[in-house]
């Protein structure tokens, strides 16, 4: 398969999944109609419908508004990355100094290196 065809297929699949996430956020977390959310993020209800169907993408300004409104990270909205992990990690890291975190990362690198040699 040609890599550009693969890239386009992958991008389309991501766009569809992104639309599903946005619809899920709208319906199950924000409890808003399509037109209500569209108004809040500065797009038309028709365009939001296209986004939710995987046929369009939000521009930065609208994505930022959705992020602020929902409390989700842009990484979650765009790529489905679990933002609970980011929140939990940040909470734990606040307990340590920068030098302690750097030392821990060096230990993790060493362990990874050892595992890769096995």
Q: Are residues 34 and 75 in the same domain?
A: yes
Whole-number Å distance between alpha carbons of 52 and 12: 13
Q: Are residues 1 and 30 in the same domain?
A: yes
Whole-number Å distance between alpha carbons of 53 and 23: 9
pTM exceeds 0.85, yes or no: no
Worst-scoring range by mean pLDDT, 7-11, 20-24, 34-38?
7-11
Q: Are residues 116 and 66 in the same domain?
A: no
Average pLDDT over residues 28-36: 97
- Any idea what DSSP says for residue 28? I
Q: Are residues 5 and 62 in the same domain?
A: yes
Q: Are residues 86 and 36 in the same domain?
A: no
Q: Are residues 88 and 114 in the same domain?
A: yes
Q: What is the DSSP string of 48-85?
A: HHHHHTTS----HHHHHHHHHHH---HHHHHH---HHH
Per-residue pLDDT band for 101 (boundaries 50, 70, 90) equals: confident
Tokens of residue 36, six digits: 């209500």
Domain count, the chain: 2
Q: Are residues 89 and 39 in the same domain?
A: no
* Percent of the chain's residues with pLDDT above 90: 56
**Structural domain containing residue 60:** 1-81
Q: Are residues 86 and 74 in the same domain?
A: no
Whole-number Å distance between alpha carbons of 48 and 56: 8
Contacts of 78 (CB under 8 A, 6+ apart): 18, 63
Q: Are residues 1 and 23 in the same domain?
A: yes
**Cβ pair 73, 83 in contact under 8 A:** yes
**Cβ pair 65, 41 in contact under 8 A:** yes
Q: Are residues 74 and 87 in the same domain?
A: no
Q: Are residues 31 and 60 in the same domain?
A: yes
Q: Are residues 37 and 6 in the same domain?
A: yes
């Amino acid at each position: 398969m040609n890599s550009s065809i693969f890239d386009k297929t992958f991008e389309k699949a991501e766009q569809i999944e992104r639309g599903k996430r946005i619809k899920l956020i709208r319906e199950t977390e924000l409890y808003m109609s399509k037109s209500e959310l569209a108004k809040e993020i500065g797009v038309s209800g028709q365009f939001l419908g296209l986004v939710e169907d995987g046929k369009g993408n939000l521009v930065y300004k609208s994505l930022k508004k959705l992020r602020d409104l929902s409390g989700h990270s842009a990484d979650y909205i765009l790529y489905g990355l679990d933002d609970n992990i980011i929140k939990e990690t940040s909470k734990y890291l606040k307990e340590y100094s920068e030098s302690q975190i750097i030392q821990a990362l060096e230990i993790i690198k060493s362990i990874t290196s050892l595992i890769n040699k096995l």
